[in-house]
A = this chain, B = another copy of it.
């Protein structure tokens, strides 16, 4: 149990499930960690995890259901947020996209009257999408493209997309006349600011998608499987929804530790821990606000400690 700072209005919840297997040394050094990651939340957590366990062998399974084709470019927001964040190229100010970014391409596209105007690609970022699109068009699978892009950034983790197949989250909303229509998640999130009631989330292509090479092995063979604080529906949920992945998560011998993405206001979840534990799930309440890298590294360490505890 850890102290919670009420001034930060932090509601903390860390979940884990029992796991009988111990690693060879019984220690958490040099361990294999697999992380299912969305965008900003996942990337921020990963930066803390890398600082907390610099010697760990970390595999990140990235959400690709946010992916979208814009201006003929294949854009993978979550993969890129992880890549830029861990590669040192992220805009600290925005949390997404590149630092020291320019916006001339966007300005010109608008001058040509090209739609959509609600999604801005920075000039540096465009280069990433050009490389990706060119490689995809040449027939490389997204996993190979991602590996090639990450090679430049010398990532401290291995980043694999959840699937090489195209999966895109759509949100069913009502249009001005009241008829239902589906919009791409990016349009719902960026243009509509998620302010329009969502009737349904439809993850197009998910039922036919296969896990990318390495995904199932990374889940089966890790020492700890981590679910950082990402959106449970459109980030973690879409990864788990790829046929075969949830099953692999259920079957892995590794402890599975989830860090809640939900931070409440004015109360803490401490009093809920006994209820969760009564359901057979080990839980701890810890501060979860990832305010800086040190704080985030502490959260990651707590998650790994819980994993170690449930193993014993």
Contacts and interface: CB of A to CB of B under 8 A. Distances in A.
Contacts of A109: 127, 130-131
A108 B127 contact: yes
Interface in A104-135: 104-109, 111-114, 122-124, 126-128, 130-131, 133-134
Interface string A201-223: 00000000000000000000000
A127 B102 contact: no
Interface of A: 71-73, 101-102, 104-109, 111-114, 122-124, 126-128, 130-131, 133-134, 137, 149, 152
A112 B127 contact: yes
A123 B102 CA distance: 9
Contacts of A134: 71-72
Classify the interface of chain A: helix, strand, loop or mixed.
helix
Given A134-B72, A137-B72, A152-B113, A128 B102 contact: no
8 contacts: A71-B130, A71-B131, A72-B133, A102-B104, A104-B122, A105-B130, A114-B131, A123-B126
Contacts of A149: 112
B123 A104 contact: yes
A73 B130 contact: yes
Contacts of A128: 108, 112
A152 B114 CA distance: 11
A123 B180 CA distance: 39
B131 A112 contact: yes
Given A130-B72, A133-B72, A152 B112 contact: yes
